[in-house]
Amino acid sequence: MAGTQTRRQAAMAAAAERQQAQNENGNAHVASGDDGVAEVEGEKENIFIFLPNLIGYLRIVLAIVSLYYMPLHPRTCSGLYSISCLLDALDGYAARYFEQSTKFGAVLDMVTDRCSTSCLLVFLSSAFPRWIIVFQLLISLDLASHYVHIYATLAMGGSDTSHKSVDASRSWLLNLYYTNRNVLFAFCALNELFFIALYLLSFSSPMLSPGLLQTVPKTAAAEIHSGGQVNSSLLRQIFTNPYSAGALEMARANKMDSFWPWVLCIISSPVMAMKQFINVVQLVKASKWLAEGDIKDRRAKGLPRKKKTA
């Protein structure tokens, strides 16, 4: 009887050790290296070739190709850029479905989003030079808001805390924005749609850019086709707006109908404005969170020190 109890105790102890090992190391993780490759139950898995990350690489390629077509081919550029944005939802679904959510993937996704939007806004700055300060402020707000939010999450919440884990007590708006996938997708998609529509309008709307849409005089066009020497006076006839770039001006030959770009722009504009408001809220809340941490650190160090009185 005593021998049976001893064996049972030994078996229970062994089971407890196995459970503790799983809790400490995870169900599958055994060893990992500095190259992003981990050995899992005798097999190696490479974080960099996870399906969500492969989709992320494809998004980058599509975005770069869309930038190549951006100055001259609005339809091709818009199609490629839109596909790159839509794949943003697919990589998140793949990460959850295949249990391949990683910190590298989250960073790749956010960096791709920020860079793609910034590149499009840079182009819009050249297409609408009178509004360049607005686009500069939008780029700055987008980058600053997300950077401060990420830094505050890591510094205050810990390295294992996702930037999407926003407590409702801190901000119900950010909690709704990040925890509801439908809300997040709608805001991101319509925000990008507004800038895409504005990009298309730069090729189609004389109301927004009348100087850039002027027709090249027939005499100037004939001189170009005949192989005549292009002098400074001819260039001034072609590029009538001093703020325009040559490639952007020549692209006006590829004009488009402005009806649908206007429709898309009007529909998406309220969501775009709300998205910028969310960026402001995110920046303010993250800054306050960091300030709270600074106060705690200063109190722990005994700061501010009381000055000695004479």
User: Which residue type sits at 56?
Assistant: G
pTM here?
0.74
Work out the average pLDDT over 200-228.
Answer: 60
Residue 227 scores a pLDDT above 70: no
Do 169 and 55 reside in the same domain of the chain?
yes
Question: Please, which pLDDT band fits residue 23 given cuts at 50, 70 and 90?
Answer: very low
Residue 285 counted as domain residue: yes
Do 199 and 216 reside in the same domain of the chain?
no
Catalytic position from the list 113, 142, 167, 297: 113
Longest dimension (CA), the chain: 111
Nearest partner of 256 among 190, 193, 209, 194, judged by Cα: 209
Residue 35 counted as domain residue: no
Do 223 and 132 reside in the same domain of the chain?
no
Do 276 and 130 reside in the same domain of the chain?
yes
Handedness of CA 23, 26, 31, 34 (dihedral sign): negative
**Number of domains, the chain:** 2
Q: What is the pLDDT of residues 32-76, one digit of tens each?
A: 556 666 665 656 889 999 999 999 999 999 999 999 999 888 889
Instruction: Tell me the residue range of the domain where 277 lies.
Output: 43-204+256-290
Give the pair of three-digit tokens for residue 220.
């100037």
Residue 84 scores a pLDDT above 90: yes
- Cα 172 from Cα 107, distance rounded (Å): 24
Residue 296 counted as domain residue: no
Give the pair of three-digit tokens for residue 85.
């944005």
Residue 295 counted as domain residue: no
Do 230 and 105 reside in the same domain of the chain?
no
Residue 148 counted as domain residue: yes
Identify the burial level of 158 via C-beta atoms within 10 angstroms of its C-beta, where 0-12 means exposed, 13-18 middle and 19 or more buried.
Answer: exposed
Q: What is the CA radius of gyration of the chain?
A: 28
Residue 20 scores a pLDDT above 60: no
Question: Please, which pLDDT band fits residue 295 given cuts at 50, 70 and 90?
Answer: very high
Do 68 and 133 reside in the same domain of the chain?
yes
Residue 111 counted as domain residue: yes
Q: What is the pLDDT of residues 168-195, one digit of tens each?
A: 999 999 999 999 999 999 999 999 999 9
Residue 265 counted as domain residue: yes
Residue 308 counted as domain residue: no
Residue 281: what pLDDT?
Answer: 97
Question: Please, which pLDDT band fits residue 218 given cuts at 50, 70 and 90?
Answer: low
Do 92 and 174 reside in the same domain of the chain?
yes
Higher pLDDT, 236 or 258: 258
Do 172 and 241 reside in the same domain of the chain?
no
- Count of residues for the chain? 310
Mean pLDDT over all residues of the chain? Answer: 81
Least trusted range by pLDDT, from 73-87, 91-105, 218-232: 218-232
Do 243 and 263 reside in the same domain of the chain?
no
Query: 38 phi and psi, to 5 degrees?
Result: -120, 145
- Cα 304 from Cα 310, distance rounded (Å): 18
Do 108 and 234 reside in the same domain of the chain?
no
What are the distances in angstroms from CA 194 to CA 50, 80, 302? 32, 16, 51
| Residue reference for tokens 């402001």 | 280
Nearest partner of 119 among 158, 64, 173, judged by Cα: 64
Least trusted range by pLDDT, from 56-65, 123-132, 207-216: 207-216
Do 242 and 285 reside in the same domain of the chain?
no
Do 150 and 278 reside in the same domain of the chain?
yes
Work out the average pLDDT over 217-234.
Answer: 51
Least trusted range by pLDDT, from 27-31, 74-78, 121-125, 126-130: 27-31
Give the domain CATH number at 165.
Answer: 1.20.120.1760
257 is catalytic: no
